[in-house]
Structure 1
């Protein structure tokens, strides 16, 4: 009897056939970023610290990315129809001056901004430690309002002691699962990423995925984990604006994640109300209505 071998160890023969999506040259070097002349001045100053000056924007590596599929979706399903831009809230998990989670969040924001998203980055500085008292604190209200405003989130945390940081978790803890009948994160899409000081790890993105599920969000399948982050960014005074993510597979994966977030958000946003409709909640409302009706008699 001859030796039996498996020439398809990854079982690719079982994969469902997929049509290859052709690159559309019409979208080469196209950007749907909100121009300064059309942007809200306060929003631009407060929530878009990732924007580059004109000189650096011209040589930005993000401007040269081939993103035709996502750009085409944005153009045909949002811009041409006159719909609202995708609203994306970006959270990071460190208050250090040279925070790598912040730098990575800026790069993610630049990609999303080019793809036509209304991107707003929340600065956690000044956010009090979670308690049951300071709900009216301005930084708490700001965070909750941004979450309610958003269609999707990007969460980027450093890994510390093998998991996400207190700075990041504190932000999530201040976003309640429910506020009366409003669920600030229910039905939003979510992209997750982490930065590590050491070797590759997935502890933090795994925890972020659990948090996202608990907050009733739809985390995209892809994720980004950047090891030895201190080696991955250019110096503060380098070209392209400084503190930019250097070419690598890690950078490519970040682009993948942001592109995927836009695709999923476009597909899911029209069905936002549908995904928030649950049997248990309908039953709860029905019972409350019946009790109220009995009390009125």
Structure 2
């Protein structure tokens, strides 16, 4: 999940090998088809170059933030409903990932795309958790201004800290070495004892919504409570559907005191009586 705090922190910085700002979206619904293809290429170029970033940035998350002007240091709120492709971000992400898979080796399959509200203004944020390998073009890429040939490694370090260009053989070798070292370091990290504490059913709910497009998450949900002192540990998602009663997804953590957790949910009226409930647990319920 992309947080307000991390994006607010990005907005205080300048563009860099790992941060790119765009005042406006790449195209509108009136963009001619030939130009639209180039703008798609421009978006892909920005994301691919962020993946590689530059030497010294392995292990750092990358961000493309749309709706912020670096020169004005000002947010220009986006109206996603005015751009057909962005009305359904899940469908847009699937299409974008499919294009990247055809275009590059090692595409960012863990790419996150979310809207973030800051000071009442809507930003569209692309977050790429640091890759563990170099991202190389395996097909030609046509952008707004240039054609980039297959086999090229694009990086974000030219005359300016954030300008995109082809990496030199020496830079490519160093990037490969640094990504390899970062990957090895991740593999050697011991799993934390409390790693399961951050488990979430969001992906499960998203998959359910993907198969039931008439559903959406209701306002005010999910409700996530992680009170480790009382062992009240759960997530509730309320899915609404026009002209039909809601469906609730309830996840009770394996370390939860189930009676306490259920009493909390009832006391705070988080689930309507007699509503459809899908309960997910990691051990049998003892209620």
TM bucket (normalised to shorter chain) is under 0.3
More strand by share: 2
Richer in helix (by share): 1
TM-score (norm 1): 0.23
Compare relative contact order (CA 8 Å, sep 6+) and give the higher one, 1 or 2: 1
